C-alpha cells in the first residue's frame, strides 16, 4: 500500500509537471511536426503598443513563421541539404548577432559624439572634391498661398523687409494662410525640393532661371507662388559648408564607431592572448 501510495504521488506530480509544461509551452501554430509556442512570441510587441496593432503584429509574425516553415519543408523534400553546413552557418549567424549586440553596447558606452566646428571645417577643407553639388541649391523665401487668401499684395513687401515686426508678421501669415512655405534663414535648400508641386518645377532651364531672377511670382489655377532668392549655388560646384555640415558630422561619427569596433576586437584578442584563453593546434 505504501508503494502504491508513493507511486500515486509520483504519478500525480509528473502529471502536474506535464500540465504545467503544457500551460507554459502553449502552441500557437503548427506546420507538420514543427510548433510555434506562445513564449516564443515574447519581445515581438514593444511596450505601450496599441492592442489592435499588437494583434496585427503577432498575426503577421505567425503567418511569416508558417510560410518560412513551409518553404523549409518543401526544400527538405526536393533538394539534398547539408545539415552540418547549415548548422555551421546558423552558428556563424548567431555569433555575429551576439557580437553585433555587444559591439553596439560597447560603442554606446564609449562613443564621444561631441564634434567641434574645427573638426568639421578641417574635414571639409581636406575633402572638397567629395562635396560637389549634385543639385542646385538656394537660400531664400518661398511662399505658396491660395488665390483667395487675404492681403496677398503685401507678401512681397514683407518678404523684402528686415524689420522685426514684418518678419514676425510674415511668419504669422504663412502659418495662417500658406499651403507651403520656406522662410529665409542661413540654411540652404535644394531648389527642386522647394519647387515641387508648383509651376517652378516645370522651368526648363533652372540654372538660367537662377542666374536671371532674384524675385519671381507665378500662379496656377488654385495658388499664388512667391519666390525671393538671396543666394544660389549651381550643381557641379563645391557645396557650401553649411549644406553638408550634418553629413560631415555623420561621417565623423561613423568613423569613430568603426575605430571603436576595431579597438574592441583588438583589445578582446590581446587580453585573451595574455590569459591564454585560446590556442591553435597543429593540423
Question: Quick check: 56 pLDDT over 60?
Answer: yes
Mean pLDDT of the chain, nearest integer = 89
What is residue 49's predicted lDDT score, i.e. its pLDDT? Answer: 82
Sorting pLDDT into bands at 50, 70 and 90, what band is 9? very low
Question: Quick check: 45 pLDDT over 90?
Answer: no
- 223-273 tens-digit pLDDT: 999 999 999 999 999 999 999 999 999 999 999 999 999 999 999 999 999
- How far CA 262 is from CA of 5, 267, 268, 277, in Å, comes to 65, 9, 10, 20
Mean pLDDT of all residues in 183-203:
92
Sorting pLDDT into bands at 50, 70 and 90, what band is 53? confident
Question: Quick check: 210 pLDDT over 80?
Answer: yes
What is residue 63's predicted lDDT score, i.e. its pLDDT? Answer: 94
The 10 Å Cβ neighbour count of residue 280 is 5
- 135-156 tens-digit pLDDT: 999 999 999 999 999 999 999 9
In the chain, the percentage of residues whose pLDDT exceeds 90 is 74
- 60-114 tens-digit pLDDT: 999 999 999 999 889 888 888 888 888 999 999 998 999 999 999 999 999 999 9
The residue with greater pLDDT, 113 or 15, is 113
d(CA 14, CA 33): 24
Q: How much is the pTM?
A: 0.67
Does residue 26 contact residue 46 with C-beta atoms inside 8 Å? no
The residue with greater pLDDT, 4 or 17, is 17
The residue with greater pLDDT, 204 or 44, is 204
Amino acid at each position: 500500500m505504501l508503494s502504491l501510495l508513493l507511486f500515486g504521488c509520483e504519478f500525480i506530480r509528473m502529471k502536474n509537471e506535464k500540465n504545467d509544461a503544457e500551460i507554459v509551452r502553449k502552441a500557437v501554430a503548427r506546420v507538420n511536426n514543427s510548433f510555434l509556442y506562445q513564449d516564443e512570441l515574447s519581445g515581438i510587441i514593444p511596450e505601450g503598443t496599441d492592442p489592435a496593432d499588437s494583434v496585427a503584429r503577432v498575426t503577421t509574425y505567425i503567418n511569416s513563421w508558417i510560410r518560412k516553415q513551409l518553404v523549409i519543408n518543401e526544400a527538405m523534400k526536393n533538394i539534398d541539404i547539408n545539415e552540418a553546413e547549415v548548422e555551421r552557418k546558423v552558428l556563424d549567424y548567431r555569433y555575429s548577432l551576439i557580437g553585433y549586440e555587444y559591439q553596439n553596447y560597447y560603442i554606446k558606452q564609449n562613443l564621444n559624439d561631441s564634434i567641434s566646428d574645427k573638426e568639421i571645417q578641417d574635414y571639409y577643407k581636406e575633402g572638397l572634391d567629395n562635396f560637389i553639388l549634385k543639385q542646385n541649391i538656394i537660400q531664400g523665401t518661398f511662399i505658396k498661398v491660395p488665390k483667395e487668401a487675404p492681403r496677398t499684395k503685401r507678401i512681397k513687401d514683407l518678404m523684402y523687409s528686415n524689420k522685426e515686426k514684418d518678419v514676425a508678421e510674415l511668419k504669422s501669415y504663412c502659418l495662417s494662410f500658406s499651403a507651403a512655405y520656406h522662410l529665409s534663414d542661413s540654411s540652404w535648400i535644394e531648389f527642386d525640393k522647394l519647387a515641387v508641386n508648383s509651376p517652378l518645377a516645370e522651368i526648363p532651364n533652372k540654372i538660367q532661371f537662377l542666374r536671371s531672377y532674384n524675385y519671381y511670382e507665378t500662379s496656377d489655377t488654385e495658388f499664388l507662388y512667391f519666390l525671393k532668392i538671396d543666394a544660389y549655388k549651381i550643381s557641379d560646384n563645391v557645396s557650401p559648408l553649411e549644406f553638408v555640415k550634418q553629413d560631415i558630422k555623420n561621417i565623423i561619427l561613423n568613423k569613430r564607431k568603426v575605430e571603436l569596433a576595431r579597438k574592441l576586437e583588438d583589445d578582446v584578442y590581446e587580453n585573451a592572448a595574455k590569459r591564454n584563453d585560446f590556442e591553435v593546434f597543429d593540423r
